[in-house]
Structure 1
Amino acid sequence: MAQGNFCCNCGLPVQIKRVDRHYVLHEIWHILHFEKGILYTIKELISRPGQNIKEFITENRSRLVKPILFIIVTSLIYTVINNLFHLDDRYVSFNGPEKSAMTLIFNWIHHHYGYGNIIMGIFIAFWLKLFFRKYEYNFFELLILLCFVLGMGMLIFSVFAIFEGLTKVSLMKVSGIIAIAYFTMAIGQFFDKKKIANYLKAFASYILGMITFSISAILLGLLIDFFIKS
């Protein structure tokens, strides 16, 4: 039953606005706007990453953008910049036979950073859960944490990719160091910024997560190739 401009049962508008240029621009602006949008989230994750993510998980989930959206958008930004300047930076790389399953898997990761980061986050979350088990965060809460932190890593890569594309000076190794440093700092702050051991555990979780992710991708490729050749 309609009451005025809205349905009294569900609260939705009685007449839905037509999808046109104004609608699309409004939706883009809604995602990017500074107040509770991507830009606001980036600002908060630069200033107090650990505290802001902890508040998102335990107190207020309306201040920051949704974590899955954040990591996909930031990964897309990096992909666009990477393709624009024709850079070939692969933070997870593999050199093997061109038509092997392993090569195809790593090529897929390279061209789908958003999904690749989410999958990689699963492996890093395993190590975080192991090293920080006394804090009693569940596995999915750790994945939310990693969506924000890895998303910021993609933005760090994006900034340095722009400079490398414009100056032709190789800077991606520097961006990798800074991204790992940010990861270590953000994770350490999230659990307890006063404990130096937490930063060491965070660094170890990232490195071990990357290693186990790469090994799993290689083993999956070997398994696929084995069954194909059998």
Structure 2
Amino acid sequence: MNTTANLAPAPSLAAVGPDEAPHHATACLNCGTAITDRYCAHCGQDAHHTHRFTLRFLLFHDLPHSIWHVDKGVGYTLRQMLTRPGATLHEYMAGRRAQHFRPITYLLLITAVSMLLLSAVGINPVPAAQQAEMPRLVQLVMERYMQLYAKYPTLIYLIILPANAALAVWLLRPSKFNFAEMLLSQAFISGTTTIISTVFMVPLLLLIRYFPALQSWMMLTMLPYMAYSAWVFRQLLEPARMPVEDKWVRSIGTVVLQTMVLVVSLISVQIVIMFSLIRQDPSLLEDFRQKTAPKSRSELAAPVR
């Protein structure tokens, strides 16, 4: 007796005519497994979309679906994180993950796209009007920092994500997320806040070219990031049985501490760059001392006519 399983062979694509579409194939065209539903039980291929490619299909289905993924993927995850982030994170950690982008990949992809946009706009940390009076050391530190951030945009996340997750686990204990779950949640949150910050930064960077005084407003781009993070943490605490005021205190407290971690991390990176530059060129330190030294009264006094 032949004990070999009688699986129907996969139809040859060459045998399919130009006007034929194997919508009702009895076997998966990818692996040959018998089809019992829309998706192959073995490899997961969609049996409804294996017909021959046409220009209409590419323009009106495949291309838009690949970019936006309205029913799954990065577009779906972004939409959920913007509209119902707390519930989305709870559902993801509970096992509803098929429609979502993986959190680390989500963060890396969004960070890369954000850097492309900011690079296209042009990030000038030192306005031309201030360069003459600014110490050379400060200029170089800011330039090197922006170069480092542009080359390794995920470096800062590698530093702050574990610290942010630890703070969130501590202050958001009622959410019952462990460290690994909070780490992935922070990846989702950081990816979404990167988009929010970019949306606010790009128009401001474009306006700064014509209105240099707006440079001092750059710090305000952190407010949407802080407000969104507080809202997400508040939603994470929604199932917890505790007063609403306590939920907001914990949420805002988490954001404040995480912002402090971010600021300390940025300053630490810049200090490392500064010492590296001074080691390479000690004259930068002398120039810094001269330009930051208090001016004498004679220098400050205006000439009398």
Cα distance in structure 2, aligned partners of 1:174 and 1:98? 22
Alignment partner of 1:160 is 2:191: no
**Deviation string, structure 1 residues 183-220 (Cα, Å, up to 9, x no partner):** 11112211238422222232233223324534664787
Structure 1 unaligned runs (5+)? 14-21, 90-94
Shift of 1:124: 0.9
Distance in 2 between residues matched to 1:28 and 1:66, nearest whole Å:
20
Q: Is the radius of gyration larger for structure 1 or structure 2?
A: 2
What pairs with 1:1-230 in structure 2 (closer than 5 Å)?
3-4=9-10, 5=29, 6=31, 11=43, 29-30=65-66, 32-88=68-124, 107-168=147-208, 170=214, 172-192=218-238, 194=244, 195-214=247-266, 217=269
> Structure 1: which amino acid aligns with 2:168?
L
Per-residue displacement from partner, 1:121-177 (whole Å, max 9, x unpaired)? 111112112223454422111111111111111101221233234444646433211
Whether contact under 8 Å (2:77, 2:101) holds in the other structure is yes
With structure 2 as the length reference, what TM-score do the two structures score?
0.56
| Residues 96-127 of structure 1, C-alpha deviations (whole Å, 9 max, x = no match) | 68999xx9677534532234324321111121
Distance in structure 1 (CA, Å) of the matches to 2:181 and 2:275: 31
The one-letter code sitting in structure 2 at the alignment partner of 1:207 is T
Q: Quick check: 2:175–2:236 contact (8 Å CA) kept in 1? A: no
Which structure has the higher relative contact order (CA within 8 Å, separation 6+)?
1
Residues 28 and 202 from structure 1, CA distance in 2 versus in 1: closer, same or farther, beyond 3 angstroms? farther
Change (3 A) 1:127 1:27: farther
Residue segments in structure 2 that go unaligned for 5+ positions in a row: 11-28, 34-41, 46-57, 126-135, 281-305
Tell me which moved more, 204-213 or 117-126.
Answer: 204-213
* Cα distance in 2 between the residues matched to 1:29 and 1:113: 28
Is the CA contact 1:192–1:198 (under 8 Å) kept in the aligned structure 2? no
Identity of aligned residues (%): 16
Change (3 A) 1:83 1:107: closer
Q: Assess, with a 3 A threshold, how the Cα gap between structure 1 residues 118 and 184 changes in structure 2: closer, same or farther.
A: farther
Distance 1:32 1:216, change over 3 A: same
d(CA) in 1 for partners of 2:171, 2:201 = 33
Check the 8 A contact 2:137/2:274 in 1, yes or no.
Answer: no
CA-to-partner distance for each residue in 1:60-99, whole Å, 9 max, x for gaps? 012321111111111111100110010246xxxxx96899
Alpha carbons 1:188, 1:199 under 8 Å: kept: yes
Q: Which moved more, 1:42-51 or 1:204-213?
A: 204-213
Instruction: Measure, in 2, the Cα distance between the counterparts of 1:145 and 1:110.
Output: 24
Looking at structure 2, the residues matched to 189 and 28 of structure 1 have their Cα atoms a distance apart, in angstroms, of 31
